[in-house]
Amino acid sequence: MSLTLRAPGKVNLGLRILGRRADGYHRLESLFLPIDLADTLRLSLAAAPGVTLALSGEHDGVPGDERNLAVRAAQAFLAEAGSTAGLRIELEKQLPAPGGLGGGSSDAGAVLRGLSQLLPGAVPAGRLRALALGLGADVPFFLAPAPALVEGIGEQILPVDGLQSLALLLVHPGVPLATAAVYAEYDAAATSLTPPSTGPSIRALLALREEAGRARAGSFEAALRALVMNDLEPAASRLLPAVLELRKEIEATGAVAASLSGTGPTVFGVFSDRAAAGAAQRRIARRSGLRSWVVETSPAEAVGIRA
């Protein structure tokens, strides 16, 4: 038995760091939006135990062994289920790694929800969420990717309805930026005299939702600009100055707003429509070494499973 799944990327339309827990994990608040750029996975159950992985597509730098989060997700699920079945994963990569778009986390989420279909009832929903969080802070979101306010260390997910689709230009500088390094730089720059960020993220979210429904362009754009702020961008820019350079370049092409997604290094710009995002891409793509995509956010990402 086999099935094929989409593993969509996401952008963080606003990311605030609210503090740090005693165990070192950072408390965050962010609006996660799935996008229509996605990896594709085919899962096939096998009689022989073990998990195998075959990579294709844009997979430079993606581990093809047990370090891959998709493999770890499968192993965790099968162990939790007490299953002796084996699994073959065929993973076609489109999302950059690392990119700040949740590629590895989305692959893991797709494996968990796919195995839930292949082995129905083997792992209860509560345990599935616990497995997801144990794999990574972003993985729980990708169990059912849809616009959501994500809080805590990623375990608190509040669906957000009424958001219109947004046209985005994504630009990757072509060099990696490690998540751990960005958080370490953020922590190193903080002092005991610096309070955690307390920006009105939730309030801005509500305003964004209301303005989207009213379709008042000026107010909607103002709400977007207030929301599109990433507390990790200064740290990422110190480690990789190209991040700040790209954001300024995207803003200069007429973006409504621009920011770093997650810990980067992908930078995104929000545009009035897909044509405007495409025009900006043609201007920026002249630089060598860059990777870029024009995408749209999805009110509810289609992650349907087919045999």
* 3-class DSSP assignment, residue 170: strand
The pair of structure tokens assigned to 275 is: 């044509």
Among residues 60, 138, 187, 248, the one annotated as catalytic is: 138
Q: Is 88 exposed, middle or buried (0-12, 13-18, 19+ CB in 10 A)?
A: middle
Active-site residue flag, 93: no
Tell me which of 10, 39, 107, 231 is the catalytic residue. Answer: 10
Task: Report the C-alpha gap between 155 and 51 in whole angstroms.
Answer: 27
Is 138 annotated in the active site?
A: yes
Considering only CA atoms, which of 163, 176, 191, 185 is closest in space to residue 233? Answer: 185
85: CB partners within 8 A, 6+ apart: 45, 46, 47, 49, 78, 119
The burial of 125, by beta-carbon neighbours within 10 Å (0-12 exposed, 13-18 middle, 19 or more buried), is given as exposed
Query: What b/e string do you get for 15-54 counting C-beta neighbours within 10 Å, with b at 16 or more?
Result: bbbbeeeeeeebbbbbbbbbbbbbbbbebeeeeeeebbbe
Report the catalytic residues: 10, 138
